[in-house]
Chain A
């Protein structure tokens, strides 16, 4: 649709620009895509490496595949919540209630399937839909009534905590049968080594194919394209980044189904954010909501969908943690679960000020947070130390991010 005005106007251009002269305007030449993004995650990756080395030095079990399998399983539930937080941070808002929503969802699953005798799938569906409904209410209050998201979700936190206790009833704790598929999925299901390598191979082939396709389309359009060496290097790095961890986890129980589900959610969210209109609207609104509105974006609808996605993911995280604990009680989703998820998103590189961060922030962030907690547990440190260390790492991560951004902006202005 927008092609025609350009065609109409193309004769208005001065001397025809050749592909070569266009290319000369590009200092870097190739597409910025993967390189820039990876640079953005470098501090977190370095932090992960440093943490791993420190903990390994104090306790040789930290990097054992057994411990890392446990770590991935713990990370998965927090990660699903953190993924929702990343989304809500991208539009420049905050959801303080993800922990409480996850606890309520766990209670709904347990009460629905155990006490009410619903089929388990129905209870899970009800819990996730309940989460989406909570998010829709937040979104409505935010877009129509103009209440700040901080206050809405703080109120939501309290309400959901109360509802959780109500739903659980007098017993306060409900066990899920070990034989139920939810518990088996969350605790005992691991990808068979063959399956995991097959998935890795599929992802690698798919990503290489997409890069080659993009390259040929770009060359056809006379745009600067990545060289074959670039593509080979990118695919090679991806292969190393996937094969090594999968191989290592396979030395023990393997890649947990729940962790694989989390990775899948991250990958899908990443595509939604980078390659769809919705994702672009999300980032635009987080960058400058006023500009986004004047560009004609349906700002309210995007806010609403983001709040819904965040709460639905929180509910899903609650369902998974109910499965992992084989129980739902008043403590599910309580204490530091909420703040851990928010801290994970921030440590992973999402910005509180909107517009910055990616789906992978959730993965990196939870890996850092759970490395800390796992490492300190191995060292027999109690929760008090864990809170303090996590807090310091959060402060460091956000500080590094702020300094880096300031430098980048100063560099940009000079041009």
Chain B
């Protein structure tokens, strides 16, 4: 199993803080992500997972802190910027446009063109190729995504994230809406993506998924980092304890930040 190599992370979050009014959703969060690594971000409801996804996706501009991609400090001011910098996000609600078909959704915002006009043929060919890699059975790439099942929609959203050579893939609860077989497919896919060199951030509260694919587990609790574990050397109970705050100190904290 490939574990984090001691090289520059592909993406680092440094001291990220963000508030919604009086609610402090993220407080001084650090996160390093290396290539060929799956980092699971776990936490209870309201722990700040979705806010963290928003920051990495460029949807939310954090109040404080910085994002470093391959050694350069960058401003993720919009989802488009995040994509250009190689950070692709699959949102929990998938962020698909129901009335557009599969091809249109896949290439939304990064359409292939043939002169000034869209190159539908090339896009459709790529769509089939991407979807067949995901072993996704879509009835037609020209069907509106509103007619697809949950698993098919998930596949479309993941395929879209894989377009355009991302280095980092952020998956927000990718298996929450899926059945058993489809969940296994997505987990296989995550391992394949890791093996191909992507850095993957897997946001989940399904501990079975996390233990199946994660190399590291980062725990958020009430907006703060509450533990950073090596997934292979940590027990399920330790992680649960860090999530719920049941144990005053996580048993193997690699790095824990607390404000005094």
Tell me the A residues contacting B by CB distance below 8 Å.
1-6, 8-10, 12-14, 17, 22, 25-28, 31-32, 214, 217-218, 221-223, 271, 275-277, 280-281, 283-284, 286-288, 290-298, 355-356, 409, 411-413, 415
Q: Are B108 and A295 in contact (CB under 8 A)?
A: yes
Residues of B within 8 A of A291 (CB): 94-97, 108
Q: Assuming the A-B contacts A294-B59, A296-B78, are A409 and B97 also in contact, with contact meaning beta carbons closer than 8 angstroms in the complex?
A: no
Residues of A within 8 A of B101 (CB): 32
Q: Are A412 and B140 in contact (CB under 8 A)?
A: no
Q: Are A5 and B133 in contact (CB under 8 A)?
A: no
Residues of B within 8 A of A217 (CB): 121
**Complex Cα gap A284–B99 (Å):** 8
Determine the residue in chain A with the shortest Cβ distance to B142: A32
**Complex Cα gap A26–B142 (Å):** 9
Q: Are A10 and B100 in contact (CB under 8 A)?
A: no
A selection of 8 A-B contacts at a CB cut-off of 8 Å is A6-B163, A14-B133, A17-B132, A214-B120, A214-B121, A275-B118, A292-B108, A296-B82
Q: Are B133 and A221 in contact (CB under 8 A)?
A: no
Q: Are A13 and B132 in contact (CB under 8 A)?
A: yes
Interface size on B, residues (CB 8 A): 58
Residues of A within 8 A of B146 (CB): 409, 412
Identify whether the interface residues of A are mostly helix, strand, loop, or mixed. Answer: helix
Residues of B within 8 A of A283 (CB): 97, 99-100, 104
Q: Are A22 and B126 in contact (CB under 8 A)?
A: no
Q: Assuming the A-B contacts A283-B99, A295-B108, are A5 and B140 also in contact, with contact meaning beta carbons closer than 8 angstroms in the complex?
A: no
Residues of A within 8 A of B120 (CB): 214, 275
Interface flag for B80 (CB, 8 Å):
yes
Q: Which of A12, A271, A290 contacts B196 (CB 8 A)?
A: A12
Interface flag for B257 (CB, 8 Å):
no
Q: Assuming the A-B contacts A27-B139, A277-B111, A355-B99, are A296 and B79 also in contact, with contact meaning beta carbons closer than 8 angstroms in the complex?
A: yes
Total A-B pairs, Cβ < 8 A = 156
Q: How far is the CB of B62 from chain A (nearest CB, A)?
A: 17
Residues of A within 8 A of B112 (CB): 1-3
Q: How far is the CB of B38 from chain A (nearest CB, A)?
A: 16
Interface flag for B214 (CB, 8 Å):
no
**Complex Cα gap A100–B111 (Å):** 37
Residues of B within 8 A of A281 (CB): 109
**Complex Cα gap A378–B59 (Å):** 58
Q: Are A290 and B122 in contact (CB under 8 A)?
A: no
Q: How far is the CB of B73 from chain A (nearest CB, A)?
A: 21
Interface flag for B248 (CB, 8 Å):
no
Q: Are A8 and B196 in contact (CB under 8 A)?
A: yes
Residues of B within 8 A of A28 (CB): 140
**Complex Cα gap A134–B64 (Å):** 39
Determine the residue in chain A with the shortest Cβ distance to B108: A295
Q: Are A17 and B128 in contact (CB under 8 A)?
A: yes
**Complex Cα gap A409–B147 (Å):** 7
Q: Assuming the A-B contacts A10-B133, A223-B124, A291-B95, are A25 and B196 also in contact, with contact meaning beta carbons closer than 8 angstroms in the complex?
A: no
Q: How far is the CB of A278 from chain B (nearest CB, A)?
A: 10
Determine the residue in chain B with the shortest Cβ distance to A351: B99
Q: Which of B133, B139, B140, B166 contacts A12 (CB 8 A)?
A: B133
Q: Are A9 and B196 in contact (CB under 8 A)?
A: yes
Q: How far is the CB of B250 from chain A (nearest CB, A)?
A: 33
Interface flag for B57 (CB, 8 Å):
yes
**Complex Cα gap A16–B127 (Å):** 15
**Complex Cα gap A319–B43 (Å):** 62
Q: Which of B59, B116, B124 contacts A221 (CB 8 A)?
A: B124
**Complex Cα gap A401–B124 (Å):** 29
